[in-house]
Amino acid sequence: MPALPAFTDLDPAPRILLGPGPSMIPPRVLRALATPATGHLDPDFLAILDDVRHLLQFVFQTQNELTLAVPGTGTAGMEAVLSNLIEPGDQVLACSAGYFGERLALMAERHGAQVDRLQREWGQVFETEVIQQAVQRKPYRLVTLVHAETSTGAWQPEIHAIAEAVHKAGAMLVLDVVTSLGGLPVRIDAWDIDAAYGASQKCLSAPSGLAPVTLGARARQAIARRRTPPSVFYLDLESLQRYWVEPHAYHHTSPIQTVYGLREALRLVYEEGLEARFERHQRLAQSLWHGLESLGLEMLVPEAVRLPTLTTPRLPPGTDDAEVRRRLRQEFNLEIAGGFGALAGKVWRIGLMGHSCRPENVALLLAALRTILNPSAD
Amino acid sequence: MPALPAFTDLDPAPRILLGPGPSMIPPRVLRALATPATGHLDPDFLAILDDVRHLLQFVFQTQNELTLAVPGTGTAGMEAVLSNLIEPGDQVLACSAGYFGERLALMAERHGAQVDRLQREWGQVFETEVIQQAVQRKPYRLVTLVHAETSTGAWQPEIHAIAEAVHKAGAMLVLDVVTSLGGLPVRIDAWDIDAAYGASQKCLSAPSGLAPVTLGARARQAIARRRTPPSVFYLDLESLQRYWVEPHAYHHTSPIQTVYGLREALRLVYEEGLEARFERHQRLAQSLWHGLESLGLEMLVPEAVRLPTLTTPRLPPGTDDAEVRRRLRQEFNLEIAGGFGALAGKVWRIGLMGHSCRPENVALLLAALRTILNPSAD
């Protein structure tokens, strides 16, 4: 074997994370991660899973029995929902106005669906009437929609009316709440959503590696009526449910430490309260927007549908995208992200999510950007 | 919403984990888990991924470029390998002598393979000649084999000769090393294995949630020649590789904290050295076997193919399986596991893996079993 490099003590830079996720992890959650492991079938651990399930019902605002955390990242949550609800040949309508809307379409195709795309320019959202008309054209099995598009910073309004139209047409609605869950209102039951998935490392500020998922009655009936078992054993939601609740049948070895972290992060959300949390995200986002505007930056997304959790200012003309982000990182220990896909080099993506959403972080970022973008003003 | 229960401070019992995994996590690894998060594309984090990749090459004893940790548990590693290497209609030969051998067969079927099973009674292993003959019967694309069967406690010898026979017949060999990696010799390059996967939470004593995977040249060529992209986006190994190495293209948000833990756990393996580690597992397993025999217990698996990392004594006649395990847990804080499938109620599964493999744990378990099984002897 070739000689290996020296492996030093783990010591990554203590970044201030203001990108599109991960967000910063609160000290209580970091400490929970260091709790010694129990077995994944230990009664003490099953009680912890139960707490996580109840707390996820709380953040999703649902009473859905099948509400759990898939043992993977948000992408695994997306694929769990699609691979359980799609059988080869199914018709899917994918509402795509950004990278994640498009990823839903591509992933549905990998699972054998016939996908029609309803497209909007990146940064825009869908008019309810347009979706109402589109769902009537074919007997779609699923409509996929992104509540908070992490690639553009726009949020989709009128989800309840859209769900109504989808159901009227005999289809089910899958909702991506990766960048909204825990940061702005997500009301699974009130909106009548059939299936939704989020991520642990964004507005919940838990470690990445778990994807909250919830399925309503229509979705579970559809799974029960499948002609073939879901193609992905690891992401088989009814098997996962039989592990999370009675009979607690073995399916995989739960990522125990990450579950500890998620429980503590959800407990923090519960202690803060959803309304207070949403208000904090909205208030600090507004102060960020005003600050960015006072630096001469223009927002990609109009304020009416602008996400509080992810802001996408356009780059000032002539700005060296990578160089600004490098300086933020090296001089201020700050992480923000660039745009990607259609928006690469055109916008920045600034996240104010969960524990990262703090006044001191907004103030520091604005000060740092002022120094880098307007050096003469100093 | 219904009222929620009170959520107390996280405080699971400090179990001594002597089941089939998870094993106990060393303090240095627990502390690494509590390191503040960096971004998943941060240069500091990419350097950490590089360390993990090199350390995984070390434990797999391979120079395979595609050597990484899939963002899920061992089951995700199994499914990553199968879903990347199988296209619908492919012929697969599954060598099945236990639960995990059978799971490989079932999973291959979910991905559309035509599966032939080569079966042995649970607890037995395969004669090389039998596999040699079987692979010549059809143009198999894949042969699946379990190196260390977690459900029975047997290890498969002569892997190199089996790999040679598989290759001669034009097929590829997939090897499950979930319960061997880091506990007994696994020599991917010397044995000429095409694809192998392990788990983080067994003999490596890292937190669960990552599956080490390595692919050789034949397997990567087979992926390059696929007619369709791998069906599971989340487990697409070439996409994962493009995140782990240049161009570090976004695919998912790495489970950052778990990667921290895996790096530290692998560093501990590297510091101990593979040979010393294997010797420790073998030596303590032998002392466990002697102790169990002196309690009158008989081992399911003959010593020649008995795993050092997982021991399966038969239950003494008339023993109440669940009651013994309950008392071990409640009176001694010890976890061992029952058998499952064909061996439910017939054997216990006692793991001595990684950080759990310590003389004091062997001594305590033997003392506890003596108290419970032979109360009159006290």
- Domain of residue A153, CATH code: 3.40.640.10
pLDDT digits (tens, 9 = 90+) for A165-189: 999 999 999 999 999 999 999 999 9
Q: Is residue A205 part of a domain?
A: yes
Q: Is residue B7 part of a domain?
A: no
Q: For residues B225 and B344, state if they share a domain.
A: no
Q: Is residue B347 part of a domain?
A: yes
Q: For residues A117 and A230, state if they share a domain.
A: yes
Q: For residues B244 and B353, state if they share a domain.
A: no
Q: Is residue A5 part of a domain?
A: no
pLDDT digits (tens, 9 = 90+) for A292-307: 999 999 999 999 999 9
pLDDT digits (tens, 9 = 90+) for A79-135: 999 999 999 999 999 999 999 999 999 999 999 999 999 999 999 999 999 999 999
Q: Which of A244, A270, A296 is the last residue of a domain?
A: A270
CATH number of the domain bearing residue B278: 3.90.1150.10
pLDDT digits (tens, 9 = 90+) for B25-83: 999 999 999 999 999 999 999 999 999 999 999 999 999 999 999 999 999 999 999 99
Q: For residues A223 and A353, state if they share a domain.
A: no
Mean pLDDT confidence for A8-34: 97
Residue of chain B whose Cα is closest to the Cα of A209: B255
Q: Is residue A3 part of a domain?
A: no
Q: For residues A70 and A111, state if they share a domain.
A: yes
Q: Do B234 and A260 touch (CB under 8 A)?
A: no
Residue A6 has a pLDDT of 81
pLDDT digits (tens, 9 = 90+) for A197-213: 999 999 999 999 999 99
Q: Do B1 and A57 touch (CB under 8 A)?
A: yes
Q: Which of A204, A237, A270 is the last residue of a domain?
A: A270
Residue A308 has a pLDDT of 98
- Residues in A closer than 8 angstroms to B7, CB to CB, are 51, 55, 263, 267, 270
pLDDT category at A374 given cuts 50, 70, 90 is confident
Nearest to A253 among B33, B37, B73 (CB): B73
Residue B2 has a pLDDT of 66
Residue B5 has a pLDDT of 76
Q: Which of A221, A240, A270 is the last residue of a domain?
A: A270
pLDDT category at A4 given cuts 50, 70, 90 is confident
Residue B342 has a pLDDT of 87
Total number of domains constituting chain A: 2
Q: For residues A245 and A347, state if they share a domain.
A: no
* Residue B378 confidence (pLDDT) above 60: no
Q: For residues B120 and B87, state if they share a domain.
A: yes
pLDDT digits (tens, 9 = 90+) for B70-123: 999 999 999 999 999 999 999 999 999 999 999 999 999 999 999 999 999 999
Q: For residues B123 and B260, state if they share a domain.
A: yes
The A residues from 128 to 187 touching B (CB cutoff 8 Å) are: none
Residue A259 has a pLDDT of 98
Mean pLDDT confidence for B359-377: 92
Q: Is residue A136 part of a domain?
A: yes
SS (H, E, C) chain B: CCCCCCCCCCCCCCCEECCCCCCCCCHHHHHHHCCCCCCCCCHHHHHHHHHHHHHHHHHHCCCCCEEEEECCCHHHHHHHHHHHHCCCCCEEEEEECCHHHHHHHHHHHHCCCEEEEEECCECECCCHHHHHHHCCCCCCCEEEEECEECCCCEECCCHHHHHHHHHHCCCEEEEECCCCCCCCCCCHHHHCCCEEECCCCCCCCCCCCCEEEEECHHHHHHHHCCCCCCCCHHHCHHHHHHHHCCCCCCCCCCCHHHHHHHHHHHHHHHHHCHHHHHHHHHHHHHHHHHHHHHCCCCECCCHHHECCCEECEECCCCCCHHHHHHHHHHHHCEECEECCHHHCCCEEEEECCHHHCCHHHHHHHHHHHHHHHCHHHC
- Residues in B closer than 8 angstroms to A10, CB to CB, are 32, 35, 48, 260, 263-264
Q: Is residue A203 part of a domain?
A: yes
Q: Is residue B84 part of a domain?
A: yes
Q: For residues B289 and B345, state if they share a domain.
A: yes
Q: Do B34 and A30 touch (CB under 8 A)?
A: yes
Mean pLDDT confidence for A7-17: 96
Q: For residues B229 and B363, state if they share a domain.
A: no
Domain that holds residue A305: 16-21+274-377
Is this prediction's ipTM beyond 0.85?
yes
Q: For residues A332 and A230, state if they share a domain.
A: no
Q: For residues A263 and A176, state if they share a domain.
A: yes
